[in-house]
DNA sequence: CGGCTGACTCTGG
DNA sequence: TCCAGAGCCAGCC
């Protein structure tokens, strides 16, 4: 596992249940890479690990429709199971469920 | 070393 | 508010 990817996973693991973070936020916390890299790093996730990849969404507050898979549906289900609510447009309210990890920066 | 690919983000219409 | 186009970086042939 590449260092950068591992760092991304580590930050994602710091996201508490019931909260969500954006790709750009993760990249900003790391201080390295861009939002895309974070997304691509997620795509490279084995899935067998305990990485809460479902807590990472795009800047629009919606889950990313990954290539040909139904993972976004599972992602929504996992988030709802943690208490994250979606609106009629399948959007998450960052004011309520946004991860203030960058703002607090107490990690 | 060069080129291709990918779960994003921003700006303009 | 929604759609389309351009820019970007790391990893892997």
State which residue has its Cα closest to the C1' atom of C11: A2
pTM value is 0.90
pLDDT of residue A102: 59
Average the pLDDT over A52-71 and give the result.
87
What pairs with residue A21 in β-bridges? A56
Average pLDDT over chain A reads 87
Q: Is A78 in contact with A63 (CB distance < 8 Å)? A: no
Distance of CA A81 to the CA centre of its chain: 15
pLDDT at A90 over 60: yes
Report d(CA A2, CA A5) in Å as an integer.
Answer: 5
Residue A15 CA to nucleotide B13 C1', Å? Answer: 37
State which residue has its Cα closest to the C1' atom of B6: A40
pLDDT band at A105 (very low <50, low <70, confident <90, very high): very low
- Tokens standing for residue A6: 């591992």
């Amino acid at each position: 596992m590449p260092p950068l990817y591992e760092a991304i996973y580590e930050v994602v693991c710091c996201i508490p249940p019931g909260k969500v973070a954006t790709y750009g936020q993760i990249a900003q916390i790391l201080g390295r890479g861009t939002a895309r890299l974070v997304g691509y790093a997620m795509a490279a996730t084995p899935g067998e690990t305990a990485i809460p990849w479902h807590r990472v969404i795009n800047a629009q507050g919606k889950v990313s429709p990954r290539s040909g898979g139904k993972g976004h549906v599972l992602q929504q289900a996992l988030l709802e199971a943690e208490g994250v609510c979606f609106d009629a447009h399948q959007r998450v309210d960052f004011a309520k469920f946004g991860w203030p990890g960058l703002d607090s920066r107490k990690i």
